[in-house]
Amino acid sequence: MGKNLLDKVWAAHTVRELPSGQTQLFIGLHLIHEVTSPQAFQMMREQGLKGLFPERTIATVDHIIPTDTRQRPFADGQAEAMMSAIERNCREFGIRLFDRDSGDQGIVHVIGPELGLTQPAMTIACGDSHTSTHGAFGAVAFGIGTSQVRDVLATQCLAIQKPRVRRINVEGKLQPGVYAKDVILQIIRTLGVKGGVGCAYEYAGEVLRRMSMEERMTICNMSIEGGARCGYVAPDTTTFDYLRGRRFAPTAETYDEAVRWWQGMASDADAAYDDEVLIDGGAIAPVVTWGINPGQAISVEERIPSPESFAADERETADDAYTYMGLQPGSPIAGTRIDVAFIGSCTNGRLSDLREAAKVAKLGKVKPHVKALVVPGSQSVARAAEKEGLDDIFRSAGFEWRLPGCSMCLAMNPDKLSGRQVCASSSNRNFKGRQGSPSGRTLLMSPAMVAAAAIEGVVADVRPLLRAEGA
């Protein structure tokens, strides 16, 4: 029996087995941002600790940063204090910070890949649950808490239990108008929000093989929403081609050597898995969430499920969701009126996401009752999009074109829902209150579906729009 990628990466990064039965695992790349790191630096100071490999930690600012102004100090004093703290901490501990003046600032899970920092067979950690994104490169990447951020700063290691590995094979061919976002929502809908607890998900199959790196990032990003702490795709020529020439990727002189090592770390053809799941990619239609967790999702053609369709122990969450969302069992999700449309986030804030959304935005105008925002994932994404004129397409359709950041995905900056507003969102979580209003409502969907909802004013199937236009 061969080995899967997780086995190989785990073995290569094991410092030792700890008495607790956990592994002391070396972390090749540590990413930090302003929300979950300040307390870790404070603990470092209080405990007299120094960074062990400060050059292996990279910082940026994304969560609290305003998207409508570059002005400092920020109007929000708390946000300004967090910004000043990360600047000071990075200076003091010798950590490279990609801030707005660097031209490379952006959402931490967008900039790691685009700078070539994220590479196959690395271990990557960040105080952010969407660190699973980096698994798209065949890295083993997971979110950690702040005490563990301190552990990595001080020791470049984590004490961690090795997960089981479940392979998810997505076979067939996606229909036009069906995107990576729909695939991962379908996976979560099928396996449940706790289906992946204790697991790493290895995504494989024809659909994944054909996907671009950005699409694979969207899939891996939401692994955590299925309960899996990490998710990955074994690296292949798509991965290697993406990395070639990127700023922190191996240089031309060492590139072939790097590819040889990366190829050797990919899962063997006869690798063993704890279990395997098959998903029919051709059967997936655009998916929309209707409830208060990402597993409460249906295709845009379906109706809100009836209470009877839930297992006994899911019934209570379903009842809670009907009430919170104000949606009736049996009513179609298509046609649900929206107030806000948000395109962006570490899930869907990359250039290809903006291109797909722009194709739809071109077909109409944002309805007058809808506030629509496009927030590029990074300064680099923004520059590339502006070069193609995507910003003009969005603006002339009535969308606001903002500066990069996490923005309305979790609303720690001024971009928030108010009251019970309904938001069609390309982000990753539809939890109660997630988008900044304690009673705000989120419908997760692909960026193209968000654009369709913005111009229709209601949840709408993007496929007929694309067909009519031959887009």
Interacting residues with another protein between 402 and 461 (CB under 8 A): 410-412, 429, 431-434, 436, 438-439
19 binding another protein? (CB under 8 A) = yes
Work out how close the CB of 71 gets to another protein at its nearest, in angstroms, rounded to a whole number. 18
Q: Which two tokens stand for residue 376?
A: 């590029």
Kindly tell me which of 63 and 359 has the beta carbon lying closer to another protein: 63
Comparing C-alpha atoms, which of 191, 202, 360, 207 is closest to residue 283? Answer: 207
Residue found under tokens 């986030």 = 345
Of 7, 76, 104, 268, which lies in the binding site for another protein, with binding defined by CB under 8 A?
Answer: 76
**Which one of the spans 96-104, 141-149, 379-387, 447-455 is the region binding another protein (CB under 8 A)?**
141-149
21 binding another protein? (CB under 8 A) = yes
Restricted to residues 179-238, the positions that interact with another protein (CB under 8 A) are: 193-194, 197-198, 224-225, 227, 229
* Under 8 Å between Cβ of 285 and 184: no
Work out how close the CB of 325 gets to another protein at its nearest, in angstroms, rounded to a whole number. 15
Q: How far apart are CA 418 and CA 322, in angstroms?
A: 20
Instruction: Give the single-character DSSP code of 342.
Output: E
Length of the chain: 471
* Under 8 Å between Cβ of 162 and 243: no
Element (H or E) spanning 30, and its range? Answer: strand 29-32
Restricted to residues 29-48, the positions that interact with another protein (CB under 8 A) are: 35-36, 38-39, 42, 47-48
Q: Which two tokens stand for residue 22?
A: 């956990």
Q: Which two tokens stand for residue 392?
A: 């003009």
Q: How far apart are the first and last CA of the chain?
A: 46
Bond into 404 cis (ω within 30): no
Q: How far apart are CA 116 and CA 118, in angstroms?
A: 5
**Which one of the spans 119-127, 167-175, 179-187, 384-392 is the region binding another protein (CB under 8 A)?**
119-127
156 binding another protein? (CB under 8 A) = yes
Interface mask (CB under 8 A) for another protein, residues 375-404, using x and -? ------------------------------
Interface mask (CB under 8 A) for another protein, residues 275-304, using x and -? ------------------x-----------
Interface mask (CB under 8 A) for another protein, residues 55-74, using x and -? ---------x----------
263 binding another protein? (CB under 8 A) = no
